[in-house]
Amino acid sequence: MNGDRVNQIIDAYGGDRTSTLAMLQDIQREYNYLPREALELIARRLELPPGHVYQMATFFKAFSLSPKGEHICKVCLGTACHVKGGAIILEALEREFKVKSGSTTADGKLSVEGVRCLGACALAPIVVVDDEPHGQMSSDTSIKLVQEVVSGQVAKAPAPAEVKPAVVRAAVDLSAVPPAG
């Protein structure tokens, strides 16, 4: 982990404790997970109990405390997506890429996981690859999409703030992903 980069993120928010969540989001985006050293650095810089920062990091499902793959594929397993085959898609991806849900391929290229309702049930079933949501997917279209992304045929989506509005993106508000629990 690059401590300078984490310090830059903290400085970007003026070291303000009320922006701790935003700092964690930026660090998650930067590293695809929250390194323990980053949490400790935030706690030190903001003069917060380390346990407080750790609690925030574990409360939200969108955060991960373990390293993720270069690309992340999330399959919605909410009720609407489940009814339309979400679980079947997830199983197909697990088989195709030889990875269990919630883990990462041996080469570190891809993490696959099932997630709760993303709030765009009309487009079920939904698959999100590198924060880019795709609606009305099937096992075949999901495998093809992930193959293209992992092989570099499809560019990784830019950070959400840089993305221009699109029909599907407008329908799926990833910032509204509910907390774990």
Cβ-based nearer residue to ligand FES, 23 or 72: 72
Least distance in angstroms from the C-beta of 7 to ligand FES = 37
Cβ-based nearer residue to ligand FES, 38 or 72: 72
Residues lying near ligand FES in the complex (CB under 6 A): 76, 78-81, 117-121, 124, 126
Least distance in angstroms from the C-beta of 120 to ligand FES = 5
Least distance in angstroms from the C-beta of 80 to ligand FES = 4
Nearest residue to ligand FES, using CB?
A: 78
Cβ-based nearer residue to ligand FES, 34 or 81: 81
Least distance in angstroms from the C-beta of 127 to ligand FES = 10
Q: How is the chain classified by DSSP, letter by letter?
A: --HHHHHHHHHHTTT-GGGHHHHHHHHHHHHSS--HHHHHHHHHHHT--HHHHHHHHHH-TT--SS---SEEEEEE-SHHHHHTTHHHHHHHHHHHHT--TTEE-TTSSEEEEEE---S-GGG-S-EEETTEEE-S--HHHHHHHHHHHHTTSSPPPPPGGGPPP-HHHHH--GGGPPPP-
Cβ-based nearer residue to ligand FES, 48 or 88: 88
